Amino acid sequence: MENKRLFNIFIIVFIDLLGFGLILPLLPFYADEFGATPFLVGLLTAIYAAAQLIGAPLLGRLSDRFGRRPILLISIFGTFLGFLLFGLAIPLGQKLSVLLGLPANQLILALLFISRAVDGFTGGNISVAQAYITDVTTDETRAKGLGLVGAAFGLGFVFGPAMGGFLSSYGFAVPAYVAAGLSAMNLIMVGLWLPESLPKEERNAAALEKKPKVDLKALIQALRRPKVGPILSVSFFYGLAFALFSTMFSLFAQYKLDLDARQTGYILAYIGVLIALVQGVGIGPISKRFSDRWIMMATTIILTVSLGIWAFTGGIVLLLIILIPIAGTSGVLNTVLRSSLTKVVEKEEIGGILGISASFESLTRVIAPSLGGFLLGSLGTWAPGVAGAVIMFGVIILVWMTIFKQFGDEKKTAKASR
C-alpha cells in the first residue's frame, strides 16, 4: 500500500514539475522580448515565490485540518489557471492595449506577473505532497520517500526544459498551453486515483489544536524552537545560495555563454538528470550509511566550492562538469533537511511545518532573483555565483555551530537504544 501511494504521489509531482519546467527556461527570453531588464526578469521570477511565501504555509496547515487530497486539488487548479493566463498574456495584453490606450508591452508584462502570482499563491502542492509522503512512511523510510519528490522534481526538469525549449520555436506561448494541459491532467488524476492519507481523527485533532493561520509570529515561533529553528535557518541560507544559482542560470547562460532558450533548456534537462539520479537512487543508501548531520556538513562544503567555481566558468565543458556536484549535493542536502524537519515535530504539525519550510524557501526565491539580477546587471555574470559561495561558507559555520555540535548522532543513539 505504501509503495502504491508513493508511486501515485511521484507521478503527480512529476507532472506538476514537468509543467513548471516547460516555461522555466523561457522566462528571461519571454520577458526580454517585451523590454524587461535583467532586474525586472529577476522580479518576474521572484513574484511567484513572493506569492508562495503567503500561500504555501496556509495550504500546509489547511491540509493538516482538512486532509491532503482536497488541498492538492485546489493547488493544482490554481497552477492550471496560472499557466493558462501566462499563455494568453500576449493576446490579452494586445486587446487591453486597444481598450485602455496603454502600451501593449507593459500590459503583457503585467499579465505575466499576475499569472506567476496566481500560480505561486496556490503553489503549495509540493509541500502538501511532502506531507502526504510523511503520512505514509516511517522515520526509517522517510528520507527515501521524500527523495522520490526530488526524483520527480529532477525528472520534471529532464523533460520539461527540453520540451519547453523545443516548443518555443513554435511560439513562447505554446509551452504555457502545454503546461496548462498537464495541470488539467494532474487535476483529473488526483480527483480519480489519489486516496486521502491523513486519518480523520488526526484531522480533527489538528482542527482543535492548530488553526490554519500563518503570519510573521508563526514563522518567528518556529525559528525559536530548539531543534526546528536550526534546521529552518540552515534551509533558509542554503536555499538563498542555491536560488541565486537556479534563478540566475538562464540569464548566466544567455549573457555569459550566449545560449538560446533551446540550448538552455537542454542544460537544465541535464541538471534534472543529475538530480533525479541522486535523489531517486542515491539518497536511500546515503541516508542509511551516514547520519543527517554528517551529510549536511559534507554537502555544504562541496556546494560552497562548486558555486565558487561556477561563478567563473567560461565554457560548456567545464559547466557540465561543475554542475555534477552542484546538482548532486543540493539534491541530497534539500532532502535531508526536510526529512530531519519532519522528525523533530509532532505528527499533526507536519503539514504546517513543511508549509513554513516552503515559506522560508519561497522567501529565498523572492530575495535571490532580485539580488541576483541586480548583481549580474551591475557587476557581471560572476557575481551571483560568488555571492552564493559566500553565503554557503556561512552555512558551513551555521551547521557546525548548531546542528553538528548540538544535535546528537541519531544513528549511534538508535543503536544504543536497541
CATH number reported for the structural domain that contains residue 383 in this entry: 1.20.1250.20
- pLDDT at site 352: 67
Distance in angstroms (rounded) separating the CA atoms of residues 319 and 311: 10
Q: Supply the pLDDT for residue 138.
A: 75
Question: What's the pTM value of the predicted model, to 2 decimals?
Answer: 0.66
**375 and 42 Cβ atoms separated by less than 8 Å:** no
Cβ distance 238 to 82 under 8 Å?
no
> What does the pLDDT read at residue 394?
93
Question: CA-CA-CA-CA torsion for 132, 133, 138, 141, nearest 10 degrees?
Answer: 180
How is residue 251 written as a grid cell? 540569464
- For residue 39, what are the domain limits? 2-416
Please name the residues in contact with 56: beta carbons below 8 A apart, sequence gap of 6 or more: 123, 124, 127, 355, 358, 359, 362
Where does 82-178 show beta strands of DSSP type E?
A: none
pLDDT beneath 50, residues of the chain? 208, 210-214, 411-418
Model pLDDT, residue 415? 38
Give the chain's domain count: 1
Q: Which residues of 315-345 are buried (b: 16+ CB within 10 A; e: fewer)?
A: eeeebeebbebbbbbbbbbbbbbbbbbbebb
pLDDT in tens, 151-173: 776 677 667 777 877 787 787 78
**Given this model, what pLDDT does residue 406 score?**
62
What region, left, alpha or beta, does residue 377 occupy, with left being phi > 0 and alpha being psi -120 to 50 degrees? Answer: alpha
**Cell numbers found for residue 367:** 530575495
Task: Please tell me the predicted confidence (pLDDT) of residue 206.
Answer: 53
Provide the pLDDT for residue 417. Answer: 31
Burial of 101 (0-12, 13-18, 19+ CB in 10 A): exposed
Do residues 268 and 392 make contact, with C-beta atoms less than 8 angstroms apart? no
CA atoms of 375 and 389, how far apart (whole Å): 14
Q: Specify the residue for cell string 488553526.
A: 211
